[in-house]
Structure 1
Amino acid sequence: MKYTLCSLALLTGAFALMPHAAQAADAQINVDCNFSHMKPDDAILMPNMPGMAMSHDFVGNRSSDAFSTAESLLLHSGTTCDNAADSTAYWVPTMMLPDGTIVNPTYIKNYYQANNVLEYPITPYPHGLQLLAGDHKGTGPNPHVSFLCANGNGYTNTANQICGLRAAGDAVQFNIGVMFPDCWDGKNLKAKGTNNAVYSNNNGQCPADHPVKLAKVNMNIAYVLPQIKSLDVSKIKLSLDPKVIDGNLTPLWGSVYTAHGDFMNAWTEDATKFMADRCMNYKMDCGTNIPYSYSDVEADTYVSNQTDNDKNFGTVPTLLVQDNWNSPGRDQNKQILALMKFKIPALPTNIDDYPGVSFKYKIRVFNGNTTDNAAVSIFFYPTDPGSWDENTVTWNNKPAFKYTADGSIYMDNVQQFRYVDVDKAVRAALAAGKTEVAYYIGGERNGRTITVNSRESGKTPTLMLIGYQKVVEP
């Protein structure tokens, strides 16, 4: 029996391929994960029984083994996934090619998706939730498992393809798509011995006995195989649970129809809340903006230098920003400045678990130009968070600041979420022993009005700690 690890270093320039069942979602995020390790362990179906399960390929949490729990995964939270907030353990059966070569996934791309979220919003993943998908005893097509040759015609549920070289001519690429159930019973975190999760219907509605709707995980397992020129999918074998034969624990292998996946949730609590409540339930694709942790604005308002210069706006749902740098200058022209104050989300205490991860602080606000169609810039000017109260501050008693920005946002007239990098300034505040940061928002040069949603609006300004590392899809 031969063994090959499909190294990411071998190839460049390949493409991500989305399972066909994953294409109809109206909200999603993606997580890319490298292969981590291979072990005959299964913490869901054979917990605390090392070496007794089928051979599995693990991605995500590097500590995953037969003893893994949600607590242990977060305690040892190093991950091969691009988003450091995702320390989930994902595992799939090991694959054997027709010539007997054992290959591991080159990468796995997980699409977190939801349909019809306005009518059926999703709930954050509960800590420690376990999910199973596919059938390790399968003998034929499964509606929740699909196969793809990268040179073929898309995903199919049948294993009747011959994979040739993909378009670049550099390798065969074969993908397995596994779709996890998205309706939870609200009671059982463990999957073993329970029917804790089922699939929603085509409208995204959950049945009465599994009423809690979750984001649906579509796992896309990609094998990039430069060592072969073609692959008969029907002859692929996947690992099965071993049996004792003549006194020896003997590995067994089944057809590609035994494809399945395991999921043990270990996203940070903030990340799962943000994914559901601040991203997908808004019908958004949040890209690389799911935070490790975040802090909602604790105070926000605006001040105006016009006839309302002694008025407080601490409870308004919409903040205003207006500025004019033209003659005779901004101090003589109409000027409205928004104010925001945040507690700083702490960096991970186990930062050594995240080699290669770049952590950055960003502020997310919902805003846009309401004057015309022009694209403009606004700026974030730091001020002392202890020098103002949102319920009493006016233009006449506003705190001091300098027109030196920590960050800026370039925007058009579309009202949407936008992000500003304030990492350097927030880290300087942490180094100085501060626990809060505060900003004026202003600086539009030509007198246009910018609206910014406040915490009273439902689209709350947020200071996010985002951690990502690069995962290559060869």
Structure 2
Amino acid sequence: MHLNSLTALALVAPASALLRFGCSQLVVERTDPLVNPGVAPSPHLHQIIGGNAFNISMRPEDGDIAEKATCTTCQFSEDFSNYWTAVLFFKARNGSYHRVPQVPNIGFEGSNGGMTVYYMQDGLANYQQTSKVTAFKTGFRMLVGEANYRTKVQANRFRQITYTCLKEAGTRYPESMDFPKAPCAYGIMSNVRFPTCWDGKNLDSPDHQSHMSYPETGTFENGGPCPSSHPVRVPQLMYEVIWDTKKFNNKEDWPEDGSQPFVWSMNDSTGFGSHGDYMFGWKDDSLQRAMDSPCYVNCPTLKMQSIAVGNQCTVPTVVDEPINGWLKALPGSWGQESE
């Protein structure tokens, strides 16, 4: 969706809720308490946003994230959830790597990197946002995508993990499932959309995915019904991450064969391994109240904080390794050194 379409939505009195907000960076390091709890370092680098209860374990028995956190990088100050993705790198022709910085979306200028988070009752094309959804529960967590996928056939399992080659800040279409093949004037946006049907019983599952499902037919956007195995309709959770690839657009630095030079931190140059992790941490019933209220982007039922305040929320780095500047290998690879 183009920015002007998003703006037009704000002029329509919604029947219910669509939340869109920015969250600044919390930490960037090799930790993953969902897939690799208690492991530091985890196999590949992640960028994390949200509440400062984030740590290397975060097992369900450790308690409510919202009760443990004292600050959040997100604009809604009752949201202590944690959201994370892999990290994008540029691989130069000489084989060295450089982390690609993140920049905030339009409307969230001043944020320390991070990403934009959505909670929707219907797809963005539905102006009224009329569908009833059940908010996630305390202890809920999920994963979408597979870090080891490298083909489109594999990635087709996840219908709505895509990329947008940004011509300017408001570009939203077209989307592709693999990395853009040509330089993008404003950067690359990675879009991560989670399944919207829950089994209504399990807050998690061994693979962090089986308790969730896509609609039985179609997609969330066109109102497809949930399958009987996963009958509870939950909000569409979506991430937008803008990777500032502009300074890496010189084709003379790209591979000699002209192939695209960007690679995820798990050494994926196809883009098909994109994935997102989520741990619910909204305070009390604040998310359900918002989903039941006439909210669009901002929400009168929720408390907000300034971007500047969110920028101040951080957690100590647990893994001590170089992740900035030019690197001989991706973080976690044998023999990595800074140059």
What range describes the TM-score normalised by the shorter chain of this pair? 0.5 to 0.7
Identity of aligned residues (%): 18
Structure-2 separation of matches of 1:230 and 1:191: 44
Q: Which of 228, 231, 239 is equivalent to 1:208?
A: 228
Relative to 1, partners in 2 of residues 1:61 and 1:119: Cα closer, same or farther, differing over 3 Å? Answer: closer
Structure-2 separation of matches of 1:126 and 1:64: 18
| Aligned 8 A contact 1:105 1:223 in 2 | yes
- Match for 1:221: what amino acid? V
Structure-1 separation of matches of 2:205 and 2:269: 23
| Aligned 8 A contact 2:163 2:180 in 1 | no
Structure-1 separation of matches of 2:46 and 2:270: 15
Q: Which of 117, 121, 132 is equivalent to 1:121?
A: 132
Shift of 1:32: 0.8
Relative to 1, partners in 2 of residues 1:47 and 1:110: Cα closer, same or farther, differing over 3 Å? Answer: same
| Aligned 8 A contact 1:178 1:220 in 2 | yes
Partner of 1:193: 207
Structure-2 separation of matches of 1:205 and 1:40: 38
Q: TM-score, structure 2 length as denominator?
A: 0.67
Shift of 1:178: 0.7
Shift of 1:52: 2.9
**Equivalent residues in 2 for 1:87-166 (5 A)?**
87-99=80-92, 100-106=97-103, 107-115=114-122, 120-141=131-152, 142=155, 143-151=159-167, 153-166=173-186
Relative contact order higher in (CA < 8 Å, ≥ 6 apart): 2
| Aligned 8 A contact 1:85 1:291 in 2 | no
Partner of 1:74: 67
User: Within the alignment, does 1:239 sit opposite 2:265 as a pair?
Assistant: yes
**Normalized per residue, which structure has more strand?**
1
| Aligned 8 A contact 1:60 1:87 in 2 | yes
Partner of 1:377: none
SS at match of 2:307: coil
Relative to 1, partners in 2 of residues 1:223 and 1:193: Cα closer, same or farther, differing over 3 Å? Answer: closer
| Aligned 8 A contact 2:100 2:244 in 1 | no
Shift of 1:105: 3.0
Structure-1 separation of matches of 2:207 and 2:176: 30
Relative to 1, partners in 2 of residues 1:64 and 1:289: Cα closer, same or farther, differing over 3 Å? Answer: same
SS at match of 1:124: coil
Unaligned 5+ residue runs, structure 2?
7-13, 104-113, 311-339
- Match for 2:50: what amino acid? G
- Post-superposition Cα deviations, 1:237-293, rounded to whole Å, max 9, x if no partner, equal 1122xxxxxxxxxxx5553221100000001123112122224xxxxx43221544x
Structure-2 separation of matches of 1:124 and 1:50: 31
Relative to 1, partners in 2 of residues 1:128 and 1:16: Cα closer, same or farther, differing over 3 Å? Answer: farther
- Post-superposition Cα deviations, 1:192-235, rounded to whole Å, max 9, x if no partner, equal 33511111244242111111111011111111245333587843
| Aligned 8 A contact 2:66 2:283 in 1 | no
Relative to 1, partners in 2 of residues 1:18 and 1:61: Cα closer, same or farther, differing over 3 Å? Answer: farther
Structure-1 separation of matches of 2:135 and 2:121: 12
User: Within the alignment, does 1:49 sit opposite 2:49 as a pair?
Assistant: no
Relative to 1, partners in 2 of residues 1:34 and 1:272: Cα closer, same or farther, differing over 3 Å? Answer: same
Structure-2 separation of matches of 1:230 and 1:86: 40
Partner of 1:297: none
Q: Which of 245, 267, 270 is equivalent to 2:282?
A: 267
Structure-2 separation of matches of 1:103 and 1:208: 42
Unaligned 5+ residue runs, structure 1?
1-14, 20-24, 167-172, 241-251, 280-284, 293-465
Structure-2 separation of matches of 1:234 and 1:290: 44
